Amino acid sequence: MNRLPTQPLGLCLRAALVVAAAVLASGCAFDGPMSTLVARSDLNRSILSVYRIITWATVIIGLLVFVILAVVLLRFRERPGLVAHQIHGHTALEIAWTIAPALVLLIIAIPTIQVIFRTQTAAAPQNALEVRVRGWQWWWEFRYPSLDVVTANEAHVPVGQPIVFVMEGPDVIHSFWVPQLGGKRDVVPGRLNRITLTPEHPGEYWGQCAEFCGASHANMQLRVVVDEPAAFDRWVAAQKAPAPEPSGDGAAGKEIYARSACVGCHTIRGVSAGVLGPDLTHFGSRTLFGAGLWPTTADNVAAWVKDPPALKPGAKMPNLHLSDADSKAVAAYLVGLK
Ligand SMILES: [Cu+2]
């Protein structure tokens, strides 16, 4: 029999690949902030239960196949004097290998269909808190109709209460996705999609637009902050309060804001009522801006106000050519809007 000569270089290469794959795999974080394997809501727990059933079913089938393969390879390996014995058909075997996969599919299908129905229910429980999610190119708006609160990119919700996120698409298709709280839901213009879930642990959960929507799709992040009920009530009260009056640099910034094009796109209650950009009434209370891209510091905000498209490709907020001094003053005003 002809055998391929063992190539030392090829072997080394293969060994190196295996080591590299192992090192890479060890870098996978199963509990990272964007991991779907961490269940922090009832919804994600039910999705994970389906993952688990499918993983175990495939692991068991995989092991079984490899064991049978090994036995067959060893028992029927080439030996002198061994002649293959031809048979034709085996009714019992054929029935068995038709029924077994059907059973496996049934075991997977029943919980999967149950969870699909459970996650697609249109009716939210009576005590659910409604959060209207608007996906804009390239930021998120959150409206709380029952609380009269509007915010952007950072939604707060209370732990233990059912939340119904209702998706509205003002421009193109986006997809709302907070992996630890639940699956993705498309945000489609002309449709109201819903996702209902009960957050089960306080914390800060990361999200990301999951449907390609243009230049800054990758920069369209969000946060859902799950608060204890008392902390949530404090947040609501603070958001409903009027915007604080600025002093010093901030007072000059307010004047510049009020006489610039800003007022056409942004709302600061009592100052302006634009609707094309994020509501800035309590901008300073959000830890990040630009859809999760930068910490809300005076320097970052000044850089943004000076030239948004330079910081975020395609940004729908134009460069208004403010001077350095004016950008700083406006930033001081905005960061003070706690
Ligand atoms: Cu997107």
Are residues 218 and 291 both part of a single domain?
no
Mean pLDDT estimate for the chain: 92
Indicate if 320 and 258 belong to the same structural domain: yes
Question: Does any domain span residue 302?
Answer: yes
Closest CA to 216 of 317, 299, 301, 142: 317
Q: What is the pLDDT of residue 311?
A: 93
Tell me the percentage of the chain whose pLDDT exceeds 70.
Answer: 96
End residue of a domain, out of 168, 193, 226 = 226
Q: What is the pLDDT of residue 9?
A: 67
Residue 117: per-residue pLDDT: 87
Q: Which residue has the higher pLDDT, 264 or 27?
A: 264
Residue 166 has pLDDT above 70, yes or no: yes
Residues 61 and 139 occupy one common structural domain: yes
Looking at 226, 241, 269, the residue that finishes a domain is: 226
What spacing in Å lies between the alpha carbon of 184 and ligand 1's midpoint? 12
For 278-331, write each residue's pLDDT tens digit.
999 999 999 999 999 999 999 999 999 999 999 999 999 999 999 999 999 999
Q: 55 in a domain, yes or no?
A: yes
Rounded to the nearest whole angstrom, what is the distance from the C-alpha of residue 85 to the centroid of ligand 1?
Answer: 61
How many angstroms separate the alpha carbon of residue 219 from the centre of ligand 1? 8
Mean pLDDT, residues 163-172:
94
213 and 258 in a single domain? The answer is: no
Residue 221 Cα to ligand 1 middle (Å): 9
- Between these two residues, 234 and 12, which has the higher pLDDT value? 234
pLDDT reported for residue 8: 59
Are 146 and 216 in the same domain?
Answer: yes
Q: What is the mean pLDDT of residues 233-246?
A: 94
Cα-to-centroid distance, 296 and ligand 1 (Å): 22
Q: 69 CA distance to ligand 1 centroid (A)? A: 46
**Centre of ligand 1 from the C-alpha of residue 264, in Å:** 25
Instruction: Output the DSSP codes for 134-186.
Output: EEETTEEEEEETTTTEEEESEEEEETTS-EEEEEE-SSS-EEE--TTT---EE
Same domain, yes or no, for 174 and 60?
yes
List, as ranges, residues with CB under 5 A of the ion ligand 1. 174, 209, 213, 217, 220
118: pLDDT confidence band, cut at 50, 70 and 90?
A: confident
Query: Using CA atoms, how far apart are residues 216 and 239, in angstroms rounded to an integer?
Result: 28
287 within domain boundaries: yes
**Residue 220 in domain:** yes
Residue 79: which pLDDT band, with cuts at 50, 70 and 90?
Answer: confident
Structure-block tokens of residue 6: 């063992």
Mean pLDDT of 195-202: 95
Q: Find the domain containing 295 and state its range.
A: 249-335
In a domain, 92, yes or no: no
The span from the CA of 111 to the CA of 62, in Å, is 21
Question: Any idea which of 8-12, 117-121, 139-143, 268-272 has the lowest mean pLDDT?
Answer: 8-12
**pLDDT given for residue 221 in this prediction:** 97
Q: In this predicted model, what pLDDT tens digit does every residue of 20-34 receive, in sequence order?
A: 887 777 766 678 899
Query: Separation of 211 CA from ligand 1 center, angstroms?
Result: 5
Q: Is the pLDDT of residue 224 over 60?
A: yes
Average pLDDT on 185-200 reads 94
Tokens 């959960």 locate to 205
Give yes or no: residues 255 and 179 share one domain: no
Q: How many domains does the chain have?
A: 2
The answer to whether 6 and 15 are in contact (CB under 8 A) is no
205: CA distance to ligand 1 center in Å?
18
- Rounded to the nearest angstrom, the distance between the alpha carbon of 315 and the centre of ligand 1 is 13
Q: Are 122 and 173 members of one domain?
A: yes
Q: Please report, for the domain that includes residue 109, its CATH number.
A: 2.60.40.420
46-70 average pLDDT score? 93
Asked, for residue 138, whether it belongs to a domain, the answer is yes
Q: 138 CA to middle of ligand 1, Å?
A: 7
- The pLDDT of residue 281 is 96
- Do 204 and 329 lie in one domain? The reply is no
Ligand 1: centre distance to CA 213 (Å)? 4
- Residue 225 reports pLDDT greater than 70: yes
List C-alpha distances in Å: 58 to 26, 30, 39, 47, 114: 22, 20, 22, 17, 20
d(Cα 36, Cα 181) in Å, to the nearest integer? 8
Specify the 3-state DSSP secondary structure of 268.
strand
Q: What is the Å distance from ligand 1's center to 172 Cα?
A: 9
CA 175 / ligand 1 centre spacing (Å)? 7
Residue 285 lies in a domain: yes
Burial annotation 3-28 (CB, 10 A radius, 16+ → b, else e):
eeeeeeeeeeeeeeeeeeeeeeeeee
Same domain, 169 and 275: no
83, part of any domain:
no
Query: Mean pLDDT, to the nearest integer, of 176-185?
Result: 93
Reported confidence tier of residue 223, pLDDT bands at 50, 70, 90 = very high
Residue 6 CA to ligand 1 center (angstroms) comes to 50
SS3 per-residue string spanning 70-110: HHHHHHCCCCCCCCCCCCCCCHHHHHHHHHHHHHHHHHHHH
Confidence bin at 1 (pLDDT 50/70/90): very low
283 in the same domain as 161:
no
Region 253-282: mean pLDDT is 95
For residue 289, report the distance from its CA to the centre of ligand 1, in Å.
Answer: 17
Same structural domain for residues 168 and 311?
no
CA gyration radius, the chain: 28
Ligand 1 center to 210 CA (angstroms):
6
